Amino acid sequence: MAGGDAAAETAAPEGPAPDGRAPDGPPADGLTSADEDRAADLAVVERQLGRRPRAVLRVAHRCACGLPDVVETAPRLEDGTPFPTLYYLTCPRASSAVARLESSGLMREMTARLGTEPELAAAYRSAHEDYLARRDSLGGPLPGDPGAGGMPDRVKCLHVLVAHSLASGPGVNPFGDEAIAAAGDWAARGRCVPDEPPGDLPRDPRGARA
C-alpha cells in the first residue's frame, strides 16, 4: 500500500465526535468546557449569595475547598451604572467570619493606626492605588475615582479588603492580610455549598449586592 493510502486509512473518521462536535469544530450545543465551568461557578456563587450576582467577570480566588470565594466584577453594570467594588467576597462562611471582626471594633482600631504608623499608612495607600489600577484596567476610571472599603484614609468595609487580599495575594493590602489572619480557617468545615442543595443554605450576611 502506498504511503499516502496508509495515511488516509489512519485519518480521523468523518462524522460527529463522541461529544457531539463536528470534526475540528465546537461542541454541537455551542458550549465549550470553559462555558460550562463558568456556568457552574456562577451557579455556586448564586447559591452562596442567595441571589443572582451581577456583572461578574471571573472567579478571582478559590477557597481551599475549590469553590469560588471571591469574584471580580465589572466597573459598570449593564445599564452603565458605576460599580466601584472590583472584588466581592462570596463565601458565606468567610463573610460571616469577617462580619464578626467588623462587629468587634477592629475597623476603628485599624483606622486609628493609620494616624500613628506611617509605614502602614503608606502601604495602605499603595493598596488603594493597586485597587484603582486593577479596576481602571477593565474600562477606565470611574467618575470621581471612588475608592473601596474606605481606602486610602480609613477602614470602612473589611469584606472589600479581604477580597482584595485574596484576589491579589499577600503583601498588597496590609489590612486585608491582617483580617484574613484574624478570621481563622473558614474552610475547615468543608464546602459552604454542598453538592446537593438542602432546604436552607448559609447566606451572605451583608445584604449588599454583587
Q: pLDDT tens for the chain, 210 residues: list them.
A: 444 444 333 333 344 343 344 444 444 445 566 788 999 999 999 999 999 999 999 999 999 999 999 999 999 999 999 999 999 999 999 999 999 999 999 999 999 999 999 999 999 999 999 999 999 999 899 999 899 999 999 999 999 999 999 999 999 999 999 999 999 999 998 899 886 544 444 445 444 445
- Say how many C-beta atoms besides its own lie within 10 A of residue 17's C-beta: 14
What does the pLDDT read at residue 92? Answer: 96
Cα separation of 166 and 103, whole Å?
A: 21
Cα separation of 132 and 147, whole Å?
A: 7
What residues contact residue 8 under an 8 Å CB cut-off, 6+ apart? none
What does the pLDDT read at residue 28? Answer: 45
